[in-house]
Amino acid sequence: MTEFALVAVPGWRKFSWLRHGFSRRMGGVSTVYGAGEPGETGTFNLGWTKEDDPGSVRENRRRLMERMSQGTKGMRLVTVRQVHGRVVHRVLVEEAWAGRLETPEGHAVLEGDGLVTDAPGVLLASGSADCVPVLVVDPERRAVGAFHAGWRGTAARIVEHGVAAMAREFGSRPEDLLAAVGPSIGACCYTVGEEVRERFTAEFGYGEELFRTVGAVGAPQMRVDLWEANRRQLLGAGLSAERVTVVGECTGCSRDEQGERRYFSHRMEAGRTGRMLNVIGVALPGEQ
């Protein structure tokens, strides 16, 4: 049985107080979404999807939290009900630990597409299965943010609002921030319609540069590059280019050595798939 893997940003390992990672598809206990035979490797579904057993999701989440807290006092996971908008919430430690940010079943209470905190012991999560997860860290103020940017959220400038929220709440200066654009659907796979192009070109001066037309004459397809869209938005918010990492793995087509999908892909699996969690937090003082 393979254990789950998390994708980390190489340059962030030097922050001993920081916990972060982008989850992948395999290595959990879920028996749906292409899991092997019982007793073999299951999938690492971290979302409350209708096909999966909530007990499996709970166990996958417990394992994630155990890894993140390195088995000691633990951290508290905070998720958000994502709505493809631009609302960002600040998470306070007492709210998180009092359990006010989740239902008794473990579902998110807050609605929005971004979470920020400077509270040690809180692990923020953005869920995804193609949408772009963006993690942001302020090493100076030890504050973090997790954002969810599908095409609608990207057009609504969710990461720009996220950087602004960190400035407002923690005094973060954009030039101090580091950001990572995580595994998500790439321009290799993300075919979109005219409404997406219209929205982006109306919203961004560089909007046209995000689109490519591919395919045969007479049957062209338009693709959009959401990694670049979010990278440009972060630069526009004041981050410097060398502080923005694009992981560059496509959830639609990345496969492992055995040819198995590395990620859940809503688009490629017609909506019947699991969810990754993309997490970031400040460790408790005793665990830094």
Among positions 189, 192, 235, 246, the unique one binding Zn ion when judged by CB under 5 A: 189
The residue among 197 and 267 lying less far from Zn ion, judged by its C-beta, is: 267
Q: Is 250 in the site for Zn ion (CB under 5 A)?
A: yes
- Tell me how far, at minimum, the Cβ of 247 lies from Zn ion, in Å: 13
Q: Is 188 in the site for Zn ion (CB under 5 A)?
A: yes
The residue among 136 and 185 lying less far from Zn ion, judged by its C-beta, is: 185
Binding residues for Zn ion, total number by CB under 5 A: 6
How would you label 48-61 residue by residue, b for 16+ Cβ within 10 Å and e otherwise? bbeebeeebbeebb
Choose the stretch contacting Zn ion; rule: CB under 5 A; options: 11-19, 33-41, 71-79, 180-188. Answer: 180-188
Q: Is 110 in the site for Zn ion (CB under 5 A)?
A: no
Choose the stretch contacting Zn ion; rule: CB under 5 A; options: 55-63, 109-117, 166-174, 181-189. Answer: 181-189
User: How many whole angstroms separate alpha carbon 179 and alpha carbon 74?
Assistant: 25
Residue with tokens 């004041």: 238
Choose the stretch contacting Zn ion; rule: CB under 5 A; options: 5-13, 70-78, 246-254, 279-287. Answer: 246-254
Taken as a whole, the chain contains a residue count of: 288
Q: Is 214 in the site for Zn ion (CB under 5 A)?
A: no
User: How many whole angstroms separate alpha carbon 275 and alpha carbon 253?
Assistant: 16
What are the start-end ranges of the E strands in the chain? Answer: 6-7, 18-23, 26-28, 42-43, 76-78, 88-90, 114-117, 122-128, 132-138, 143-149, 178-181, 191-192, 211-214, 221-224, 244-246, 276-282
The residue among 13 and 255 lying less far from Zn ion, judged by its C-beta, is: 255
* Structure tokens given for 263: 């990620």
CB 197 within 8 A of CB 268: no
The residue among 188 and 214 lying less far from Zn ion, judged by its C-beta, is: 188
User: How many whole angstroms separate alpha carbon 9 and alpha carbon 143?
Assistant: 17
- Tell me how far, at minimum, the Cβ of 269 lies from Zn ion, in Å: 13
Q: Is 253 in the site for Zn ion (CB under 5 A)?
A: yes
Among positions 42, 145, 252, 274, the unique one binding Zn ion when judged by CB under 5 A: 252
Phi and psi of 62, rounded to 5°?
-60, -40
Q: Is 186 in the site for Zn ion (CB under 5 A)?
A: yes
Binding site for Zn ion (CB under 5 A): 186, 188-189, 250, 252-253
